[in-house]
Amino acid sequence: MKRDLAFAAAVAGLLAAYNNTGGERPCRQRWYPATNLVATGALLAAAAASGLTAADLGLPAGRVPAGLRSAAGPAGVLAAGWLALAAAPATRPVLADRRITGLTWPQVAYQVTVRIPVGTVLWEETAFRGVLQAAMGRVLPAPAAIAVTSGVFGIWHVQPTIAALRINGVAPGSRAGWAGVSAAVAGTAAIGGLLSWFRRRSGSLSAPVLLHLTANCGAALAARAVAGARRVPAGR
């Protein structure tokens, strides 16, 4: 029990610090998918050494179809939501994220085929809904394990939110900056709780992976499409 508790605490502390210490360094950003792929393998090896099984981590191959089925409907609704935001002029400003709107279509293609799937979704789902949720589940009741996992997932997004605000012209130390960071932490914690619920319900990481991919890739594609539409001269 003490060993399990120590492992769960270590994973929670590691993940809380990982994205908030040096995450924006040029070398880390340049090698983002590769670095996070190595981190995924290392964390899975540590989880196996701690006694967690593939079933504990949501990785049994036999549960993949069930996970995809459980998330297919919500993923479809989410994709439709991105289309609706991009289609309605009143909501298009919501998609004005300079991290994406300044990219070319080939750069966006790299984002949605490599950087997001490998560097973000695979790593984060393995780390949070896989290893951390399973580790916490050995020492806490399931609702508490999900709550802790979701809280750490929210903390994980502090530094990335600060960087995103800065890119979009919002000073992190301003009132708007503090509000943005607080909203991002609360929002991503809530989203993390939902992803954890799908993971627990389906028994497979494939469910949160599908939802996470739809959310991130859909946002990138919608933002770039809206930015491209703005650049088209009237009458063409």
Least confident of 12-21, 72-81, 199-208: 12-21
| Mean pLDDT, rounded, for 108-119 | 95
pLDDT per residue as tens digits for the range 128-143: 999 999 999 999 999 9
Catalogue the long-range contacts made by 73-76 (C-beta closer than 8 Å, 24 or more residues apart): 74/198, 74/211, 75/210, 75/211, 75/214
CA gap 122, 213 in Å, rounded = 9
**128, 122 contact by CB (below 8 A):** no
Hunting for tokens 């981190």 — which residue is that?
39
154 pLDDT higher than 70: yes
Q: What is the mean pLDDT of residues 225-236?
A: 57
Least confident of 49-63, 153-167, 201-215: 153-167
**Within 10 Å of residue 195's Cβ, how many Cβ atoms?**
28
pLDDT of residue 229: 58
CA distances from 203 to 40, 43, 56, 100 (A): 19, 20, 9, 34
Which pLDDT belongs to residue 26? Answer: 67
Average per-residue pLDDT for the chain = 91
What is the reported pLDDT for 233?
A: 40
Residues 6+ apart with CB under 8 A from 43: 11, 126, 127, 131
For residues 220 and 214, what is the distance between their CA atoms, to the nearest angstrom? 10
pTM of the model: 0.90
**Band of residue 232 on the pLDDT scale cut at 50, 70, 90:** very low
Cα gap 33→31, rounded to integer Å: 6
User: How many whole angstroms separate alpha carbon 12 and alpha carbon 67?
Assistant: 25
Residue 208 has pLDDT above 80, yes or no: yes
Confidence of residue 24 (pLDDT cuts 50, 70, 90): low
217 vs 177, residue with greater confidence: 217
- Whole-Å CA distances, 85 to 72, 140, 225: 20, 39, 11
Instruction: Say yes or no to pLDDT of 218 above 60.
Output: yes
Instruction: Decide: 13 and 95 in contact? Cβ < 8 Å.
Output: no
pLDDT at 186: 96
- Look at residue 235 and tell me whether its pLDDT is greater than 60: no
Question: Which band of pLDDT confidence, cut at 50, 70 and 90, is reported for residue 102?
Answer: confident
